[in-house]
A and B are shown apart, each in its own frame.
Chain A
Amino acid sequence: NAGVMQNPRHLVRRRGQEARLRCSPMKGHSHVYWYRQLPEEGLKFMVYLQKENIIDESGMPKERFSAEFPKEGPSILRIQQVVRGDSAAYFCASSPPRQSMNTEAFFGQGTRLTVV
């Protein structure tokens, strides 16, 4: 029973390039959450998605960042025209449908983005 899978684990991009981070939730989970962790800081909520819907994007920067969770395939966090300040660890979490008894969120191992 695989956990939350994120790839790549490490990603290096030059300033101005695009970064695509992928997250496959746990089997049976239909809710996906993206978090960003800057050095020496806790995790900051970015966006909450269900299949084909963005439920809450209150933590997403207004520009350059977007997220999707298509009907088929993983959730994607996309960062356009990356800048050095985007360097961070990006974590994905998933949880089962709300009507499930167990609704804890489980985190993946993260993607560490370095912008050079």
Chain B
Amino acid sequence: QKEVEQDPGPLSVPEGAIVSLNCTYSNSAFQYFMWYRQYSRKGPELLMYTYSSGNKEDGRFTAQVDKSSKYISLFIRDSQPSDSATYLCAMSARSNTGKLIFGQGTTLQVKP
């Protein structure tokens, strides 16, 4: 069993839709949760960074963490074609570290 599970998709939605991306994990020691966006043939770009349980909002993006269920989500409101990319969840047990455990990534396509 992988430490972090993420449905690879692909997920296709029309422009303007609300997108929900999710990851589950098995290691209860994880405290720090991140979402990265990766465009084709590019490096991952950090979108959201959250600590422990709760919600964090940044523009059209909302990250949720439910540690009791070992479940994290990323919501994208008013999705745009430019949001088409692969979204990777990542997590770690410690702060101040670049040693992360990544999910497989979900490929999202937003159609105009």
Contact residues of A: prevailing secondary structure: strand
The distance from the CB of A73 to the nearest CB of chain B, in whole angstroms, is 20
Contact residues of B: prevailing secondary structure: loop
Cα of A103 to Cα of B97 in the assembled complex, Å: 7
Contact A103/B100 with A40-B8, A108-B43 known, Cβ cut-off 8 Å = no
**How many chain B residues touch A (Cβ–Cβ < 8 Å)?**
24
Please name all residues of chain B whose beta carbon is closer than 8 Å to the beta carbon of A94 when the two chains form the complex: 98
Asked whether, in the complex, the Cβ of A107 is within 8 Å of the Cβ of B44, the reply is yes
**How many chain A residues touch B (Cβ–Cβ < 8 Å)?**
26
Does B65 belong to the interface (CB within 8 Å)? no
Does A104 belong to the interface (CB within 8 Å)? yes
Which A residues have a C-beta under 8 Å from some C-beta of B?
4, 31, 33, 35, 40-45, 48, 56, 91, 93-95, 98, 103-110, 112
